[in-house]
Homo-oligomer: A and B are copies of this chain.
Amino acid sequence: MEVQEYLKKAAQTVDVALDSLIPKQSTKPASIHKAMRYSLFAGGKRLRPALALAAAEACGGALEAALHAACAVECIHTYSLIHDDLPCMDDDDLRRGRPTCHIVFGEGLAVLAGDSLLTLAFEILAQAQPTSRYGIADFVRELSVASGSRWLIAGQVLDLESEGKPVSKSALKFIHQAKTAALLTCALRLGAMSANVTPSKLKALTDFGQALGLAFQVIDDILDVTQSTEKLGKTAGKDVKAFKATYPALFGLKKSRALAAELTEEALSALKPLGKKAVMMRGIAESLLVREY
C-alpha cells in the first residue's frame, strides 16, 4: 500500500472510531458537544493516530488494538490546539482552514471544549485492552506524562514566554521536543504497547519518534514562512509576526531544510531493529519531509 493511501485509510478508521467514542452532538449540553465535535472533525491529518496504528502493526499487532490509544492521543492534540489558539495564548482565528473554536463558540465554551477533550482522552484510553506487558496504568501514565506540565504543556509555556526574546539553540530544541516530539513519540509508544511491544523495540520507536517529532516541527517552522495561509489552513507567517523562536529565524531556511533532512535520516536509522515490518513508518517519515502543509 502507498503511504498516502495508508494515511487516508488510517484517518478514516480513526474518524469512525472517534465518532463512536465522542458523545453525540445531541447529548446535553448540546453546545459543548457541538464545540468538541467542531474542532475534532475539522479535517485534521490524523498524523498522530496514524503513527499509533502503524506502530502497532510494525510490532506485529493488529491495527484495531491501538484504536483507543490513537483516538485518545488525537483528543489531546485537538484540545491543545483549541487552547493554544485562545486570545490569551497565540490568539489565532484560523485552524485547519476554518474559524477557530473560540471564534465560533466564544472563549468560555472553547476553554471548556478543550477541557472536555482532555478529560475524554483518558476516558477513551481506559477502554483500551491491556496486554501481558502493559496495563491501563502504564497507558495512562504514558499519556499523562507526555501531555502534562513537563512536556506538551511545558512547550506551550516556553513558547509563550519566549515570544520576542532571544532564544538559544538548545532552548529552541527543547521547546520543539516538548511541544511536538513528546506527543508524537507518545502516540508511537502507546500504539506499540497496545501490540505488547518488547522493551528493545519500544526503545527504537522512542528514538524514532523523538527525531521525527523534531523534524516535523522544523518543517512546520519552514512552512510557516514559505507557504500561504490558504495552503496551511492556519495563519501563515504568524511565527515571524509574533517574534517567535523558530528554526528558520535562528538558522536560516537553507540550514533548516538540511537539518530536517538530517533528523529524518536519524529517525529512519532508529527504525532498524524493527526490520521490514516498519516499512509504513519509514514511508510516513519520508513523506513528512516533503509535505507542503
Contact = CB atoms under 8 A, between A and B. Distances in A.
Interface of A: 23, 27-29, 31-33, 36, 79, 83, 86, 88-89, 106-109, 111-112, 114-116, 118-120, 122-123, 125-127, 130, 135-137, 140-141, 143-145, 147-150, 153-154, 156-158, 160-161
Ordered nearest first, which 6 A-B pairs have the shortest CB separation? A88-B107, A123-B144, A116-B149, A126-B140, A136-B137, A119-B148
The binding surface of chain A is classed by DSSP as helix
A88 B116 contact: no
Contacts of A89: 108, 111
Contacts of A130: 137
Contacts of A114: 115
A153 B122 contact: no
Contacts of A140: 122-123, 125-126, 136, 140
Contacts of A126: 136-137, 140-141, 144
Given A29-B158, A106-B88, A119 B118 contact: yes
- Tell me the number of copies of this protein: 2
A112 B156 contact: yes
A111 B125 contact: no
Contacts of A29: 149, 154, 157-158, 161
Contacts of A119: 118, 144, 147-149, 153
Contacts of A109: 157, 160
Contacts of A118: 115, 118-119
Contacts of A120: 144, 148-149
A267 to B, nearest CB: 26
Contact of A157 (B32, B83, B148, B153): B32
B83 A149 contact: no
A117 to B, nearest CB: 9
Contact of A32 (B86, B106, B149): B149
A126 B158 CA distance: 27
B161 A31 contact: yes
